[in-house]
Amino acid sequence: MRNKSGNALLLAVGIAIGLSLGLTHGVLADKPAAGADLPWQDARMLAAVLERVKHDYVNPVDDHQLLQAAIRGMVASLDPYSAYLDGDEYDEVKISSSGRYFGVGIELSIEDEQVVVIAPFDGSPAAQAGIRSGDIIVTIDGIPVNNNTLADTIGRMRGAEGTSVKIGIMREGNQEPMVFTLKRSRVDLHSVKGEMLEPGYAYLRISQFSETTGDDLNATIKDLRKHNGAPLKGLVLDLRDNPGGVLEAAVAVADAFLDSGVIVTAKGRTPDSKFEMDATPGDVLNGAPIVVLVNGGSASAAEIVAGALKDQHRAKVMGRTTFGKGSVQTIIPLSDDRAVKLTTSLYYTPSGVSINHRGIAPDIELERDSKTPVTPATEGAPLQQRDSEVKRALEELKVSPSARPGAVTTAARA
């Protein structure tokens, strides 16, 4: 005889599937009924497995943990990019997308089983308090940090705006920990950095795409132009190891350099997943040549930018074939501050090509394949002397003609 726990699990799973079928009845009404009982058979199997795990597994587990794991596994089995997000994971996605959060403003890493400060963000509470690169975080509010994962440390330093946190730090040359009391505030993450390589020629690095990237790019270009004292003659746009991010941010970046034409199209099953995004008039560089640096770590939104500028003949792409993530994920909020990240579209470059699992081949291929393509140089030397690929891109800029009006292509649509 099935025990009460098994009956409860079967009832919970059965109700969930029944509700799902009921909610989708209007969409599925015109489909044949063959196999309609299959979900119930699967529900019975799921309940049976859950019951055996609860009864026979070496350690006790509760129903909630098992069902959460079942949901997570179900979504993860769809593709590498779909995922079920719990509260903490959903918060991280929102921070990455928005480019802002409330905390103390420190970039961290784990080195030799120690939580080490890479750098405090400019203007952040950590920077204002005097925390330095290389400091080792040992305690937060008097409690030792977890040296095996950054998630716990980061989570404890974040919190409501205006609240305080005490951070214990060991610094080279000090025998005792230093304790800093920091007041949490809004921290803005800027994904765009730029510098002049030499008069007339600029370098711009985008590390990821967040909601602020488009505005950050325009502000950085404006600063570079002001520093140059004249319009720019060319730009190296560095998208190497950029994992992607917000689709709209990629469109904004591509649009900044294009006067017209298709940037990206997408196709999916729902009306919202089918769209075309086009450039608007105005080119922040007024046609000055662009070289886009990419490698195998350039993915998703970075590939949208590289693909649009390449297909519209606005830039030369240099480096190595990109990652090949040609799908779009949508964050679908659920109850209890949870969400599902679900692949909803495949996107296509302006020429109508899907780069999914294929990537974008560069116009100019570079043989070297290093995460840090750096050549030995004196400390403080110009970037082009420290980075051989930036040097090669700069050389290409100097022989590239300005973009010609009317050189854009039209999208091939099916």
Q: Which of 394, 226, 192 is nearest to 305 (CA)?
A: 192
Burial class (CB within 10 angstroms; exposed 0-12, middle 13-18, buried 19+) of 62: exposed
Question: What CA–CA distance (Å, rounded) separates 327 from 247?
Answer: 10
Q: Which residues contact 58 (CB under 8 A, 6 or more apart)?
A: none
Taking the CB of residue 213, how many other CB atoms lie within 10 A of it? 25
311, 316, 327, 391: which is the annotated catalytic residue? 311
| Pairing of β 114-120 and β 290-294 | unpaired
Burial class (CB within 10 angstroms; exposed 0-12, middle 13-18, buried 19+) of 346: middle
Question: What CA–CA distance (Å, rounded) separates 225 from 288?
Answer: 12
Question: What CA–CA distance (Å, rounded) separates 224 from 212?
Answer: 18
Question: What CA–CA distance (Å, rounded) separates 63 from 10?
Answer: 11
| Pairing of β 364-365 and β 316-319 | parallel
96, 124, 207, 300: which is the annotated catalytic residue? 300
316, 325, 341, 391: which is the annotated catalytic residue? 325
Question: What CA–CA distance (Å, rounded) separates 37 from 308?
Answer: 47
Give first-to-last CA distance, the chain, whole Å.
57
Q: Which residues contact 91 (CB under 8 A, 6 or more apart)?
A: 337
Residue 300 a catalytic site member = yes
Look-up: residue for tokens 């302006």? 350
Backbone φ and ψ for 335, nearest 5 degrees, come out as: -75, 165
> Does the CA dihedral 353-354-357-359 come out positive or negative?
positive
* Amino acid in the structure at residue 112: D
Supply angle C-alpha 196, 199, 205, rounded to 5: 20
**Residue 298 near residue 345, CB atoms below 8 Å:** no
Which positions are annotated as active-site residues?
300, 311, 325
